[in-house]
Every structure is written in structure tokens, then in C-alpha cells.
């Protein structure tokens, strides 16, 4: 359960979150997340059988518009904030992905 959150749990969540944590951060978050989850566990005592979930308050039918092509951001501007771009090729560059 949450109150017994372990360092291994924190490492697992950090990996899912794409976060590389220091040892100090792992211990701090283990304690703080355990406190918060222990507090949040109170919702589990509420009888919600048959109660629908609210994901969104305006659950009306989805909005649609005509499927017409419109202008979009030019490639140079889309690349303008990239830490490592290859504007001539129109690409974002990243470190190696495989191997």
C-alpha cells in the first residue's frame, strides 16, 4: 500500500515518469508521496457503486468542424525552439535511439 512505499517503488515510478532522480530525491519523494497517498486513501471509503466517472464536466458530443485544409506553422518556425535542429533537412536531432 501507499503508506509502505519503498525506494524500489519510487524508482519504478521515476522510470515510468522519465525522471532520473538523485538518492536524496528518492528518499524525499518516498516519504512525501507516502504521506500524500495515505491522505488520498480516504476516498476509498466512499461508496461509489454505480456512480459514473467524471473525466470532463461538459460531456456533450464532440465538437466537429468541416475537414478543410488550413495554414500551419512553417517548418523553420516549428524548429525554431529546438535545442538541436537540422533546419535544412527539416528535422529535430536526438542522441542515438538504438544500441
- Give the separation between CA 2 and CA 31, rounded to whole angstroms: 10
Q: List, in order, residues 6 or more apart from 99 with CB less than 8 Å away.
A: none
Selected binder of another protein within 58, 67, 69, 88 (CB under 8 A): 58
Q: Taking CB under 8 A as the rule, does residue 4 contact another protein?
A: no
Element (H, E) at 85: strand 85-86
Site for another protein, residues 15 to 54, rule: CB under 8 A: 16-22, 25, 28-29, 32-33, 35-37, 39-44, 46, 48, 51-54
Residue 39, all three cell numbers: 491522505
- Give the separation between CA 80 and CA 86, rounded to whole angstroms: 10
DSSP state of 54: -
Q: Taking CB under 8 A as the rule, does residue 61 contact another protein?
A: no
Selected binder of another protein within 56, 67, 69, 88 (CB under 8 A): 56
Q: DSSP labels for 24-37? A: HHHHHHHHHHHHHH
Least distance in angstroms from the C-beta of 94 to another protein: 5
Interface residue list for another protein (CB under 8 A): 10, 13-14, 16-22, 25, 28-29, 32-33, 35-37, 39-44, 46, 48, 51-58, 62-63, 65, 73, 77-78, 80-84, 92, 94-97, 99
Amino acid at each position: 500500500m501507499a503508506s509502505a512505499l519503498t525506494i524500489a517503488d519510487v524508482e519504478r515510478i521515476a522510470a515510468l515518469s522519465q525522471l532520473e532522480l538523485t538518492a536524496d530525491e528518492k528518499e524525499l519523494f518516498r516519504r512525501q508521496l507516502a504521506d500524500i497517498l495515505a491522505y488520498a486513501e480516504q476516498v476509498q471509503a466512499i461508496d461509489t457503486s454505480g456512480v459514473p466517472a467524471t473525466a470532463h464536466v461538459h460531456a456533450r458530443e464532440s465538437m466537429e468542424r468541416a475537414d478543410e485544409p488550413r495554414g500551419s506553422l512553417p517548418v523553420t518556425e516549428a524548429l525554431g525552439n529546438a535545442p538541436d535542429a537540422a533546419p535544412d533537412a527539416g528535422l529535430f536531432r536526438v542522441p542515438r535511439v538504438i544500441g
